[in-house]
Structure 1
Amino acid sequence: MANHIKLDIQETAEELRNLLKKETNTQKKERLHALYLLKSGQVTTLEALSKLLVRDTSTIYRWFQKYKTEGLTGFLKLYIPAGRPLTIPPEALEQLKQKVQEPEAFKTYGEIQLWLKANCGVDVDYYVVYRTVRYQLKAKMKAPRNSKKNSLRETSRDSDMALPSANTKPSKSVNNTYNASGEPSMRFVPASPSGQGFL
């Protein structure tokens, strides 16, 4: 058997419709829509309302229980989990939008995170900053130069061009010859590619 909703809605259907038009928050808009459908007589049961809103009947029941105890103000009050906000407030977002347009304003998303906290009093996670700046404001941070990598490249290039040190001994071959007095003498000649260094 269908569960008919018994709820004494204080606002008129016209008032609810006007509130529905003005509301910008998706969650609040959904709740106002539920009240409006019920007040205007377009639905009378939880099951019908559940199908229209694509919401579980238990969720809609909790909404209406809150309306009974707290009225429209409590009905529209949304639960905000503890911790950092998941979005940047509109006022801070507008300031950030203008700031990122300045040349060399920020080099990293971490700098933006610190700027928001210092200048706007908004403490949000790094991912929130990245998602907002990258996808909502369509701005990109320049990747910092990898100085370590460049340093290694320069060091490698310098080592390839380095001259032999004083302790480095060139490869030579020994050729035993004799001088005019019959004493042996030693003459060094460069080694040939074949390894035969004797003259």
Structure 2
Amino acid sequence: MYNLPEIDEPVDWLDAQVRSEQDAQVQRRLQMLLLLKTGEAKSRSAAARHLGVHRNTIDNWLGLCGEGGIKKLYEIQEPGPAPGQQSIPPEAMKALKRRLSEPQGFGSYKEIQRWLAEEQDVDLCYSTACRIVRYDLRAKLKTPRPSHPKKATRSK
């Protein structure tokens, strides 16, 4: 188990900061320090349970505190990838669009994933390949799904 860092700020000062903070994200970070300082939470996991976050989040917040002091806890970064960052290069995206526009298309998203790996040298997880095709390209698989045999023999 990791040792908890020494928190230098006084309890009454931390309590006042938690109460006066308007930003909920910063407030939770300060609340974490208060919980650890007062001993109400004796571990990272206990603090995480109390605040409803993952223990790694607590570890990250404590790391920020260790890097730049309490001031670092006030710096909230935008989540997600940097603007313009793509999981698939533009050339591969163009090739995928072309391939999806062909009549035969693909039979499954797994097939798309394999095609990207083999033809474009792009390794994507299944869910990313799915998201790109369905939501970014707004395309559908061209191969129709097989119908159940009983449906085909049913008379009208």
Q: Compare relative contact order (CA 8 Å, sep 6+) and give the higher one, 1 or 2.
A: 2
Higher fraction of strand: 1
Structure-1-length-normalised TM-score: 0.38
